[in-house]
């Protein structure tokens, strides 16, 4: 098959699955509105993709683990700082923002992508 045809097919299939997931979510929560999802969720998802890179399954899994770990890390740090309500509320967003800025500055393709390339070069050298 032609590459362009495969790309269109992949885009169509992924759009259909995303639409189906959205419909099931709307039926589950009985509400569809933009206010149901905070802007911080969008930043967290973008950060996960940038941190890990989206070209490999292990990278995507690493990004998901990082996103799940950030609130837990923030909770531990907030507890060590005295359980201030402001720290508990804003620390996860701060961690996500700092990670996003650092990874864009130092590794534009994401640390996961750089690690994958490094491992691929090591394998080809042997």
Pick the residue with more confidence: 73 or 83? Answer: 73
**pLDDT of 15:** 93
| pLDDT more than 90, % of the chain | 7
Residues 6+ apart with CB under 8 A from 75: 88
CB 67 within 8 A of CB 48: yes
| DSSP per residue, 20-78 | HHHHHHHHHHS---GGGS-HHHHHHHHHHHHHH-SSSHHHHHHHHHHHHHHHHHHHHHH
CB 64 within 8 A of CB 112: no
**pLDDT of 70:** 80
pLDDT (tens digit, 9 = 90+) per residue, 6-50?
Answer: 889 989 999 999 899 888 888 888 877 777 777 777 777 777 777
The pTM of the full predicted model, rounded to 2 decimals, is 0.56
């Amino acid at each position: 098959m032609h590459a362009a045809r495969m790309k269109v097919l992949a885009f169509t299939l992924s759009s259909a699955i995303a639409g189906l997931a959205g419909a099931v979510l709307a039926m589950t929560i009985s509400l569809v509105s933009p206010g149901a999802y905070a802007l911080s969720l969008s930043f967290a998802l973008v950060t996960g993709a940038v941190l890990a890179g989206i070209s490999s399954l292990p990278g995507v899994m690493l990004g998901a683990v990082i996103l799940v770990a950030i609130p837990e890390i923030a909770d531990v740090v907030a507890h060590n700082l005295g359980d201030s309500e402001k720290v508990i509320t804003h620390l996860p967003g701060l961690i996500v923002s700092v990670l996003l800025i650092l990874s864009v500055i130092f590794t534009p393709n994401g640390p996961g992508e750089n690690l994958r390339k490094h491992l691929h070069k090591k394998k080809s050298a042997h």
